[in-house]
Structure 1
């Protein structure tokens, strides 16, 4: 498998920050309204302070252990593999491509997100890079999809499925990415794109023109709703007909 990356740092920082806030809140107290100050002995104050410090330390240790366990076993512990070269043989074996076309596989590596990104053919009049959110999960209400939404065919893997379609040289394969979010509102970004045998990155004359589930952009999926974005991939004359290409986008929550 390819190089792995683990998404854990943000969750750990959030947990530690929560413990710090809870500790500060526990240090302040006041009597009932109208009551005067209460005098306690130095021994009692020292004992109370020692007990509070011990309790806070215990809570911190327990929370740290829980955070470590969560990041090692929970959805936040996704191992990002970015392995289009390794999944390419599976895509070739499980599909067929006409001799005058090019097959494009879309793998959305979203293991750290609470949804699985779906891939549909875009509406004919949908503008490339158009992005919309909806307060419903009814795809008939998503105007970036055609009236009868048609999902791309998929190849199963032991991780995210590969969605695929075919096109001809110079003709874009335009699709709509769809995220139906069952949880609270979530913000995320797609921060990496790789491909095999082409990825279209940093080339003056690219084999693939990709527009664009873009790294560095922030996306939001509303609670109980739907996020959608239109992208397209166009093989240029540098690609031979009959070629199968695997593309991988990696994303994670902000």
Structure 2
């Protein structure tokens, strides 16, 4: 083999080696320090692959992963929401107590136009935030987005929906699983607005609350005779003083057609 052929072969091998090194440099290992973050409010198309990856079914005979789609539609004009966290806040304060080194978070799901009442349970420690599934059973022992022994949050009654509440510390999330058990025909609905008092964490550059996320404009499905579940969490930031009680309100209804 002459010298010119050898030089051509070496150049080809160098090119292949450079491509391989570049490919390895572009991969993120499980220990990569590059942070990834789920959306804290209305999701974008870029968040869909991440969310879908958290929704793999583990009980194939009872449940199904469901990747919520986004809609530009809104709630029907006939639906009137009680967006009144400031009004229910005094009741929440009066009926509960919060340690001086913790923060009390009240979750209120304003779903009065829906044919079910949203239940709120403590989520498993290893549950992926934004995981969403539907199940063909209402037996909560078959809902793997709940712990083996599901434990509902404590509640405070109001004139409409109950306020489900728990405590956490600054910087630590209160992670819960929302559950809807439905006996009628399968239908779709969405969450719309979120409000809160004295903080709601909405449209702020440095929010007092980080909310991940019963997301506005995402389509959720309530299966006939089954169960829908989604994992969300709220984290008080350092802008919240320990000992504070916060009411957070979500509104939801069927999607207008």
Common fold by TM > 0.5: yes
Residues in 1 aligned to 2:81 and 2:226: alpha-carbon distance in whole angstroms: 26
- 1:172-251 mapped onto 2 (5 Å cutoff): 172-251=173-252
- 1:50-199 mapped onto 2 (5 Å cutoff): 79-199=80-200
Q: In the alignment, is the contact (CA less than 8 A) between 2:208 and 2:237 conserved in 1?
A: yes
What SS is found at the alignment partner of 1:79? coil
Q: In the alignment, is the contact (CA less than 8 A) between 2:103 and 2:244 conserved in 1?
A: yes
Shift of 1:78: 5.1
What SS is found at the alignment partner of 1:226? strand
Residues in 2 aligned to 1:95 and 1:164: alpha-carbon distance in whole angstroms: 9
Output the TM-score relative to the length of structure 1.
Answer: 0.70
Equivalent pairs, count: 181
| Structure label with greater radius of gyration | 1
Residues in 2 aligned to 1:8 and 1:128: alpha-carbon distance in whole angstroms: 29
Deviations 1:120-153 (A, max 9, x none): 0001111000000000000000000000000000
RMSD between superposed Cα atoms in Å: 1.0
Residues in 1 aligned to 2:82 and 2:224: alpha-carbon distance in whole angstroms: 28
What SS is found at the alignment partner of 1:92? helix
Q: In the alignment, is the contact (CA less than 8 A) between 1:78 and 1:111 conserved in 2?
A: no
Residues in 2 aligned to 1:233 and 1:107: alpha-carbon distance in whole angstroms: 13
Q: Which structure 1 residue ranges, 4+ long, deviate > 6 Å from structure 2? A: none
Shift of 1:79: 3.2
- 1:4-23 mapped onto 2 (5 Å cutoff): 9=77
**Structure 1 equivalent of residue 35 of structure 2:** none
Q: In the alignment, is the contact (CA less than 8 A) between 1:199 and 1:208 conserved in 2?
A: yes
Residues in 2 aligned to 1:183 and 1:114: alpha-carbon distance in whole angstroms: 8
Q: Which runs of 5+ in 2 are unaligned?
A: 1-74
Output the TM-score relative to the length of structure 2.
Answer: 0.69
Comparing both structures, which one devotes a greater share of its residues to helix? 1
Deviations 1:67-91 (A, max 9, x none): xxxxxxxxxx653120000000000
Q: Which runs of 5+ in 1 are unaligned?
A: 1-6, 10-76
Shift of 1:8: 5.6
Residues in 2 aligned to 1:124 and 1:8: alpha-carbon distance in whole angstroms: 37
Residues in 2 aligned to 1:198 and 1:250: alpha-carbon distance in whole angstroms: 16
Q: In the alignment, is the contact (CA less than 8 A) between 1:186 and 1:222 conserved in 2?
A: yes
Residues in 2 aligned to 1:183 and 1:193: alpha-carbon distance in whole angstroms: 27
Residues in 2 aligned to 1:158 and 1:86: alpha-carbon distance in whole angstroms: 11
